[in-house]
Structure 1
Amino acid sequence: MAYSLTWDLDIFFEGGSSSAAFLEYIKDLEQDIFNFDKYVSDWKVKSDEKDKHLLGNIAELFSQTGRKMRQAGAYVSCLEAQNTKDAKAHELRAQITKLSAAFQTALTKLDQKLVMLDEEFFQETIKEESLRELKFILNERRDRAMEKLSVEEESLINQLAIDGYHGWSQLYDTIVSSIHIPFEGSHLSVGQAANKFSDPDRSTRKTVFKEWENAWGEKGELLANTLNHLAGFRLSVYSKRGWSDVLKEPLEINRMKKETLDSMWGAIAESKEPLIKFLNRKAELLGVEKLSWYDLDAPILESGSSNIMPYQQGAEFIVKQFSRFGSQLSQFAQKAFEDKWIEAEDRPNKRPGGFCTSFPESGQSRIFMTYSGTPSNVSTLAHELGHAFHSFALKDTHQLNRAYAMNVAETASTFAEMIVADAAVKEAGTEAEKLALLEDKIQRTVALLMNIHARFLFETRFYEERKKGVVSASRLNDLMEKAQQEAYGDALAEYHPHFWASKLHFYITGVPFYNFPYTFGFLFSLGIYAQALEEGEGFEKKYMALLQDTGSMTVENLAKKHLNVDLTTKGFWEKAIGACITDIEEFLKLTESHSRKA
């Protein structure tokens, strides 16, 4: 059957941003949050038998309300992404943000009640049959609550965050929706313009990049104010809680140790030479002395059309390759295509980038991207399907055990991406096609080990300066460019100083330091992928078991249990990076006798 380029949202709430059904859903959700808050507030902690029963009821209410909250948030995210000009969708976002703050306030009260429980009684209680499977989650919430402020103070933070913290994030979306990139007498959305950086014509890439930089630069002061206020709010909260390390929260959110993060970046920093060799060889193939930022995603083939895959062909290729790994993954992907879970149409006013969001009440997911047929687009589509499959793998686990961290979330997506990328290289019909696909695969390695590294370096340094005061737009440019020079080993002739403005991830309030989880997931998935290649189709069952544990274990324990490795040492990371270097070595060997003019 022919697959649709647009998704179906009406199955959730008919009528889009004008949906009467969704307004009623929000109304019901508001009442659910009120009821949950009241139930928690009325709980008089005494650490007796009654409290065991109450905690079980509260956990169930938490699960039900959280599921509905996620459903509503996912729907609004889809509405906003498919049309950045949808004013009603932005109004709905404001309502959801307000409800989310109210829910977080209720959860803050719950956390404080957990702290009030006697330690011995609490540990006995979570061994009860109704709570046993939630032991990790409840312990985690209690431990984190011990490091936070009082209920009143944390509740006030949540309330002020609506028009403060989250408000600045929403302002970013508004600013982005007003940005258009001039091109050949017309204007491109930022999503359409971003796709031009993989155009085979260098003059096109250079022209678009110049306009891209100018467009973000024109909004630079607004965006600098936005970023500074986001960081300022976050730092103020950290200060009140007595947290001096800005990485404390992101590390806790990702359930990982600082030693693990340091080992990962340390191994990467020591492995840049092969990546730099790749960039230099690509520059030679493109006929330039050094690559510029706008050349990073450029194809190395003379003709840019030979590797273009229409959407239908790309979808069928993904399903076929997934089937070689396991039947559940391939059947799931086919269902996603057939049931219109994916928004892929290339049209104006769409948000840039791609994402996957789950609708837990409906047992479905939705994938957003702008598909133009490049190998990178095919990889992105596989990547987002991996996210959706992760949610599918968790369908039989308790709702509260489905809140996996971002670093392991990127594991499932990158794993799916690798299956497709490897297959594309192996099935290439000609050497030229193989080179192009291998290069596209290595580009993602460069992005995850160099681009993400630059983001991490920039963000850590920005936060240190922000502690001392507001950081100007020009200084942000300087910090960004220096971080890129370091991360790319000074291998580029021209960098992207306004990257801090154009990258959504710096403005996301839900997950601070939304950068290193991608690199973690990429390298972690390489270890999983290596085992999958060794064990074949039978590995899917083990893979599903690993995914099912991602919401209820630290990453160190997850890796030890399922892979028998220690993430706090460089050994695992060096071995994972070695697989990337193998691709680069093959590329360098195949291109020894190749070069062409730009």
Structure 2
Amino acid sequence: MNKSLQQTWDLESIFPGGSHSPKFAAFLDSLEKEARELRLAVQNAKVPKNLEEAKKLEDIVSMMEKCTAMTSEAGAFVSCLSAQDQNDKKAVQLSGRITSIRANLQSVISAFSNVLREMDDSLWDAWTSTEAVFPLKFILDESRNVAREKMNPELESLALELAIDGYHGWGSFYDTIVSKIQIPNEENGKTEMLSAGQAFNKLHHPSREVRQEMFEKWEQAWTDAEDYCADTLNHLAGFRLKLYANRGWEDPLKEPLAINRMSHETLDSMWAVIQDTKPLLVEYLNRKAKLLGLDRLTWTDVEAPIRTSVSKITYDEAAETITQQFEKFSPKLAEFTQMAFDKRWIEAEDRPGKRPGGFCTSFKVSNQTRIFMTFGGTVSNVSTLAHELGHAYHQHLMRGLPVLNQGYAMNVAETASTFAEMIVADALVKGAKDEQEKLALLEEKIQNTVSFFMNIHSRFLFETRFYNKRKNGLLNANEISEMMEKAQKEAYCEALSSYHPHFWASKLHFYITGVPFYNFPYTFGYMFSTGLYARALQEGSAFADKYDALLHDTGVMTVEDLAKKHLDVDLTQRDFWQSAADMCVSDIHQFLRMTDHLA
């Protein structure tokens, strides 16, 4: 690994000039032209009566592929611009333009799906069995079936158009709110104003005093913004619920489950196994409290290291560690990771003005990815970096497939990312120099289990209940905060002494309009990847190719079919989920044994 890696990403090689790029402006003009031609072609398309007429639709499918790839490229670029500098006003304008393009494209695709849904079933089977169309059969079947469950084409088109300034407009308002968050921080005798992203990192500081002080300021900052956030969340939910009602969908989970290509039975089985595991997690939390000299943990103590003298990790050290550990599992994964660092596909610099959080975005025309995060030198930052590299590798494996077949769902996307995290975390624990280091790294690993089993569960409980209550009218900020805290208490089994009432306001995931219920797919990814990791330990180096093959199929299968094909398991039953939970339980038992004398 080369030393002194640059921590800012390279966007110039894609579209030089940032938000004022002439090349990007020309690209958007070209995209809008392609989109207009696609719309015209769909408007003129008629429901085919025979195979020859059906084959004429293949040109439309090709145009859809091109527009989808170009829209992905444009959206990825602007999301990078907005994230790296929240004060880039031009990027905000471009984001609005792309949102409009994306919504219009969705409208056209929806209209085309309505042409498909009217096709005779026998003709459909014949057309989707042809050599040209068969590779896209899963996606086209899915699109046709979804269309059959929606409103009539005219109403669906109207809803999508209204969503541009309504639904998506409210969603983008979160970016405006968070860009105005400024939190004072005193350090070395000086007071500076931190962005939300920088302040968030302080919530994970090794010093409890620093964490607690920042948490009070963090809660206050979001309390000050709570009315804006409450309005935003209410209207997002209101739009969805009204749309669902007009489609005849009673369950708010119908759409997110369909998007994630999974059944309610699978989701219920997963949560049931997790719920049965929680008593041991509470035992871990209580043990951790004793180790920290506390009666019970507060919200900011849950992810705190059990040692306060944790040295900072440099970005170069993190890059080297991740690449080395990936190499032990898969040389292909390590080679890709090295390339991502060398080609500056990663934005990691800790500076003011950046958006909080981390993400990986794909440029489907350029066949590249970019990773965004703020690297502060913690073990958690190393995990985030490995996590996002897992996403990037997943997309890398999809290159060469039809663009429509690259649209894998969030739950399997989170499988690749958390699997990558697990490789690094497990290897670090096993390779620890001494018991103290091993304990610290093991505890960091267990924190992921707590996060996915408890934190994400609290988000799922909150959002499910919020949507059900929102059916009866608007909720004010106090009611939403009370609902959030109640969900946290239930998910953490009352194990903490304080909670985060304004978590709903601060968390971007509640405001994302592209994927409703941006929570349970994380836990699915964690559990699914843990089960995969258990297989990897059993099968050794031979599993790497199986893993790649599984990821390669994620865009064209339900999760149940994916697991059956590659693992020969039934996800609607508890067995697989229990095998994953057992891996987590093993870590906790080891932690409790190692700390028994300390407590």
TM-score with structure 1 setting the length: 0.98
Deviation at 1:52, TM superposition (A): 2.7
Deviation at 1:177, TM superposition (A): 0.4
User: Within the alignment, does 1:500 sit opposite 2:516 as a pair?
Assistant: no
In structure 1, the residue matched to 2:486 is 482
In the TM superposition, what whole-angstrom CA distance separates every residue of 1:390-448 from its partner, at most 9, and x where no partner exists?
00111132211110011001000011010000111111112111111111111111000
User: Within the alignment, does 1:577 sit opposite 2:581 as a pair?
Assistant: yes
Question: Contact (CA 8 Å) 1:40, 1:106: kept in 2 or not?
Answer: yes
Deviation at 1:538, TM superposition (A): 2.2
Amino acid at match of 1:337: F
Could you tell me how far apart the structure 2 residues matched to 1:423 and 1:197 are? 26
User: Within the alignment, does 1:407 sit opposite 2:415 as a pair?
Assistant: no
Could you tell me how far apart the structure 2 residues matched to 1:496 and 1:96 are? 34
Question: Contact (CA 8 Å) 2:418, 2:525: kept in 1 or not?
Answer: yes
Map 1:367-386; keep pairs closer than 5 Å: 367-386=371-390
SS in 1 for 2:497: strand
Choose the corresponding residue for 2:266, options 260, 266, 279.
260
Question: Contact (CA 8 Å) 2:391, 2:416: kept in 1 or not?
Answer: yes
Amino acid at match of 1:517: P
User: Within the alignment, does 1:282 sit opposite 2:288 as a pair?
Assistant: yes
Amino acid at match of 2:391: H
Could you tell me how far apart the structure 1 residues matched to 2:179 and 2:113 are? 38
SS in 2 for 1:573: helix
User: Within the alignment, does 1:66 sit opposite 2:72 as a pair?
Assistant: no
Aligned residues between the structures: 593
Could you tell me how far apart the structure 2 residues matched to 1:83 and 1:441 are? 32
In the TM superposition, what whole-angstrom CA distance separates every residue of 1:149-186 from its partner, at most 9, and x where no partner exists?
12211111111111100000111110000001111122
Could you tell me how far apart the structure 2 residues matched to 1:588 and 1:90 are? 49
Amino acid at match of 2:26: E
Question: Contact (CA 8 Å) 1:169, 1:507: kept in 2 or not?
Answer: yes
Could you tell me how far apart the structure 2 residues matched to 1:377 and 1:478 are? 31
Choose the corresponding residue for 2:529, options 522, 525, 529.
525
Deviation at 1:51, TM superposition (A): 2.4
SS in 1 for 2:552: helix
How high is the sequence identity, in percent, across the aligned residues?
54
**Structure 1 gap ranges (5+):** none
Map 1:368-447; keep pairs closer than 5 Å: 368-447=372-451
In structure 1, the residue matched to 2:462 is 458
Question: Contact (CA 8 Å) 1:343, 1:370: kept in 2 or not?
Answer: yes
Deviation at 1:201, TM superposition (A): 1.4
Could you tell me how far apart the structure 1 residues matched to 2:184 and 2:431 are? 38
Question: Contact (CA 8 Å) 1:197, 1:297: kept in 2 or not?
Answer: no
Deviation at 1:84, TM superposition (A): 0.8
Amino acid at match of 1:94: G
Deviation at 1:200, TM superposition (A): 1.8
Amino acid at match of 1:92: L
Question: Contact (CA 8 Å) 1:387, 1:413: kept in 2 or not?
Answer: yes
Could you tell me how far apart the structure 1 residues matched to 2:332 and 2:279 are? 39
Map 1:110-149; keep pairs closer than 5 Å: 110-149=112-151
User: Within the alignment, does 1:174 sit opposite 2:176 as a pair?
Assistant: yes
In the TM superposition, what whole-angstrom CA distance separates every residue of 1:486-541 from its partner, at most 9, and x where no partner exists?
00010000000000001100000000001000000100011111111222222211
SS in 2 for 1:198: coil
Could you tell me how far apart the structure 1 residues matched to 2:541 and 2:431 are? 19
SS in 1 for 2:56: helix
Deviation at 1:567, TM superposition (A): 0.6
For the aligned residues, what is the CA RMSD? 0.9
Choose the corresponding residue for 2:305, options 286, 299, 302.
299
Deviation at 1:266, TM superposition (A): 1.1
SS in 2 for 1:493: coil
Amino acid at match of 1:61: M
In structure 2, the residue matched to 1:192 is 198
User: Within the alignment, does 1:204 sit opposite 2:229 as a pair?
Assistant: no
Question: Contact (CA 8 Å) 1:197, 1:295: kept in 2 or not?
Answer: no
Question: Contact (CA 8 Å) 1:404, 1:551: kept in 2 or not?
Answer: yes
In structure 2, the residue matched to 1:534 is 538
Question: Contact (CA 8 Å) 2:534, 2:580: kept in 1 or not?
Answer: no
Could you tell me how far apart the structure 1 residues matched to 2:163 and 2:472 are? 22
Could you tell me how far apart the structure 2 residues matched to 1:21 and 1:288 are? 58
Deviation at 1:55, TM superposition (A): 2.2
Question: Contact (CA 8 Å) 1:250, 1:511: kept in 2 or not?
Answer: yes
Deviation at 1:198, TM superposition (A): 2.0
Question: Contact (CA 8 Å) 1:322, 1:330: kept in 2 or not?
Answer: yes
In structure 1, the residue matched to 2:166 is 164
Question: Contact (CA 8 Å) 1:199, 1:304: kept in 2 or not?
Answer: no
Could you tell me how far apart the structure 1 residues matched to 2:175 and 2:206 are? 30
Deviation at 1:344, TM superposition (A): 0.3
Deviation at 1:302, TM superposition (A): 3.4
Deviation at 1:193, TM superposition (A): 1.2
Deviation at 1:108, TM superposition (A): 1.0
Could you tell me how far apart the structure 2 residues matched to 1:579 and 1:52 are? 50
In the TM superposition, what whole-angstrom CA distance separates every residue of 1:97-124 from its partner, at most 9, and x where no partner exists?
1111110111011000001111110111
Q: Could you tell which deviates more after superposition, 122-131 or 532-541?
A: 532-541
User: Within the alignment, does 1:590 sit opposite 2:559 as a pair?
Assistant: no
In the TM superposition, what whole-angstrom CA distance separates every residue of 1:269-319 from its partner, at most 9, and x where no partner exists?
1110111011111111111100000111211113122xx210001001101
Amino acid at match of 2:354: K
Deviation at 1:362, TM superposition (A): 0.7
Could you tell me how far apart the structure 2 residues matched to 1:283 and 1:69 are? 49
Amino acid at match of 1:131: V
Could you tell me how far apart the structure 2 residues matched to 1:90 and 1:51 are? 43
Map 1:331-342; keep pairs closer than 5 Å: 331-342=335-346
Question: Contact (CA 8 Å) 1:197, 1:205: kept in 2 or not?
Answer: yes
Could you tell me how far apart the structure 2 residues matched to 1:444 and 1:228 are? 30
Amino acid at match of 2:49: S
Could you tell me how far apart the structure 1 residues matched to 2:228 and 2:221 are? 12
Deviation at 1:197, TM superposition (A): 2.0
Question: Contact (CA 8 Å) 1:40, 1:109: kept in 2 or not?
Answer: yes
In structure 2, the residue matched to 1:27 is 29
Could you tell me how far apart the structure 1 residues matched to 2:542 and 2:355 are? 39
Question: Contact (CA 8 Å) 2:256, 2:517: kept in 1 or not?
Answer: yes
Could you tell me how far apart the structure 2 residues matched to 1:201 and 1:544 are? 41
Choose the corresponding residue for 2:251, options 245, 249, 261.
245
Question: Contact (CA 8 Å) 2:51, 2:123: kept in 1 or not?
Answer: no
Deviation at 1:327, TM superposition (A): 1.1
Deviation at 1:574, TM superposition (A): 1.6
TM-score with structure 2 setting the length: 0.98
Could you tell me how far apart the structure 2 residues matched to 1:522 and 1:377 are? 18
Question: Contact (CA 8 Å) 2:241, 2:471: kept in 1 or not?
Answer: yes
Amino acid at match of 1:580: C
Deviation at 1:573, TM superposition (A): 1.1
In structure 1, the residue matched to 2:45 is 43
Could you tell me how far apart the structure 2 residues matched to 1:16 and 1:571 are? 50
Choose the corresponding residue for 1:546, options 534, 538, 550.
550
SS in 1 for 2:184: strand
SS in 2 for 1:550: coil
Amino acid at match of 1:27: D
Deviation at 1:50, TM superposition (A): 3.0
